[in-house]
Chains A and B, each alone.
Chain A
Amino acid sequence: MARVTPTPVEGERPIAGAPSRAVRKTNVRRLLVSLGRHLLLIAVAVVFMGPFYWMLISGLKTMDEIFATPIVWWPKHLQWSNIGDVLNYPGFPFLHYLWNSTFYSGSVTVGALFSCSAAGYAFARLRFPGRDLLFGIALATLMVPFIVIFIPTYVLFKNLHMIGSYLPLILPSFVAGKVGTSGLFIFMLRQFFMGLPWELTEAAKVDGAGEWRIFWQIMLPLVRSALIVVAIFSFVWTWQEFLGPLIYLPDASQYPLTLGLFAFRAQRTTDWPLLMAAASLTTVPLVVLFFLTQKYFVKGITMTGLKG
């Protein structure tokens, strides 16, 4: 498949020689439009980021400054000691919990990518009896409220002698059985696979390729962006998961970061600056990961259809 080099969106054409008056006007207009776009982006970004920034900066405040009115956007003195307090806090062994979270989120993501892409592909591009009904079932499992199936699920895992570890949390991911997320990923990947031209499959079949090769070598690479999204969501949502680890893990030594955060809350009060600092530390790895995946989100991975 030929690659098309991306060209600028506005469809401008390079013009040789000195710019005419009309061209200068267009240049100015283009500049203003670009400026306007940036301003818009910045304005909305500020609104969006505001609360997130508040979380970060509150980790460096004193207790009074947290709820002071008007909102304190920059504390008088940055309490860097808060970070030290959090890292040394009894009941919040940061690095240990960080490892637990990474291990947990990573495993689940691998399992999700594997099992959900296969199923999503089958529902999108393979024909077999009962396909649409089974897809409907996959979708229906997303609609069941977690809190109600929570107890039967727990009893099930107990009877399978799997509780007391991360096993009941990780294993379902490898068989697309994580309630609330697996069905979602299957659905999403199905939509993306269905957006790929049918001609690709036919051409490959004419070339004699088997189903697995078509899937692995042709189809999967074409939905790369969707796979990255699945990976990001799977990792992030698992990182933020709370109730699952709470019930299946035997003791605090296996807790992920989310459960560790509750060390900063008492029965009626909360140590807000430390909680915010801890929450920020919990979020930073995700931010780093997200930035790292940005380079795979490259626009321009295109393919011309066999439409030419």
Chain B
Amino acid sequence: MAVMAQPMKRRRWSVMRRREAIAGYLFILPWLIGLIVFTAYPILATVYFSFTDYNIIQPPHWVGLSNYTTMFTADTDFWNGVGNSLYYALISVPLGLAFSLGLALVLNLRARGVGVYRALFYLPALAPSIVATVVFLMLLDPQNGLVNVLLRAVGLPAPGWFEDPSWSKPALIILSLWGAGTAALIFLAGLQEIPQALIEAATIDGAGAWSRFWNVTLPLLSPVVLFNLVMGVIWSFQVFDQAITVGGTTGDPLGSTLMFMVMIYNNAFRYFSMGYASALSVVLVLAILVVTAVIFRTSRLWVFYEGQQRDA
């Protein structure tokens, strides 16, 4: 660790700091430009539309908080959509995280031909999503799908999956697990960055496999865990393609698959209520922001950055 600057070097520190700050701005300059030119207007427009009555064709006219009050008091679908999305997020995120981490750990072993396995696990994510969803739907066909055939063969009850309102969300969650290859790949990259020397040192010190994982691997992997956790939350709240393929625009069966994003789509394009849809989007973004902020706050307790800086 570098020794703290001596008094006579203080002037140099501030010069260095200024140079670092300038460099910082220069490095983010492309992103900043992109933000101002391409991203800012559409997002600000959406926020503006949320306070208007806007049918896409005609100019919007101001209605203040009317959309927001309707949302919370008069929209019967709203609470259904919220409930469905929360259920889906709360279960699929931890499950997906555990599953993809386990997958990555297994794929990180130096078994022979592990590169082939890695490709095999990531391949499903490469198929076009319409194909992926349809194939999966076939597997979960209540009558003849492979899953139910196997369940019946071992004497377990065979649920109605996408046809049964009580099982449609669990079925959607299982569908999401199939895409775990994406998160696993990121974990894998993270595992690659862990210095072998540390693992060896722990082994020499007599640590068993679990202890090595818990005390060496996981802490060093925690920045990546944080990433997959936050991205998992964001993605799960934004699930759309699968929900609409499975349940259509009405969230069949019985509105059980009506996810928040489908609600937004319905209002924007089927009911021509772009203002209301914008309000729904604002609420969604705020909800995700809050959850993400909480995760980041608590991350200080469990995320370990080796590149920890002493000052911000």
Contacts and interface: CB of A to CB of B under 8 A. Distances in A.
B91 interface: no
B146 interface: yes
Contacts of B35: 137-138, 141, 176-177
Contact of A37 (B45, B111, B226, B278): B111
Interface in B131-146: 131-132, 135-136, 138-139, 143-144, 146
Contact of A279 (B28, B30, B131, B143): B131
Nearest to A212: B23
Given A151-B56, A156-B38, A299-B192, A175 B31 contact: yes
Interface stretch (A19-27, A86-94, A102-110, A290-298): A290-298
A287 B119 contact: yes
Given A7-B196, A143-B288, A223-B193, A229 B186 contact: yes
Contact of A152 (B41, B138, B203): B41
B118 A294 contact: yes
A238 B106 CA distance: 29
B185 interface: yes
Interface in B1-26: 1-2, 16-17, 19-25
Interface in B287-312: 288-289, 292, 305-309, 311-312
Contacts of B30: 114-115, 118-119, 174-176
Interface residues of A, number: 117
B171 interface: no
B43 A55 contact: no
A246 interface: no
B58 to A, nearest CB: 13
B306 A197 contact: yes
A31 interface: no
A70 B150 CA distance: 12
A302 to B, nearest CB: 5
B79 interface: no
Contacts of B149: 70
B278 A156 contact: no
B253 interface: no
Contacts of A286: 126
A41 interface: yes
Nearest to A134: B28
Contact of B124 (A49, A134, A142): A49
Interface of A is mostly: helix
Given A195-B306, A233-B182, A126 B135 contact: no
Contact of A131 (B108, B118, B312): B312
A211 interface: yes
A191 interface: yes
A266 interface: no
A38 B32 CA distance: 48
Contacts of B125: 236
Given A177-B39, A192-B193, A297-B115, A11 B307 contact: no
Contacts of A98: none
Contact of A198 (B139, B185, B308): B308
Contacts of B126: 236, 283, 286-287, 290
Interface in A244-287: 258, 261, 275-276, 279, 282-283, 286-287
Interface string A110-126: 00001110110111111
10 contacts: A54-B135, A55-B132, A118-B31, A126-B24, A141-B43, A147-B240, A147-B269, A148-B278, A148-B281, A279-B130
Interface of A: 4, 6-9, 11, 34, 37-38, 40-41, 44-45, 48-52, 54-55, 67, 69-71, 114-116, 118-119, 121-129, 131-132, 134, 137-145, 147-149, 151-153, 156, 171-172, 174-177, 179, 182, 184, 186-188, 191-199, 201-202, 205-206, 210-212, 215, 222-223, 225-226, 228-229, 232-233, 236, 240, 258, 261, 275-276, 279, 282-283, 286-287, 290-291, 294-295, 297, 299-305
Closest 7 CB pairs of A and B: A177-B34, A175-B34, A128-B24, A122-B27, A126-B24, A11-B203, A211-B23
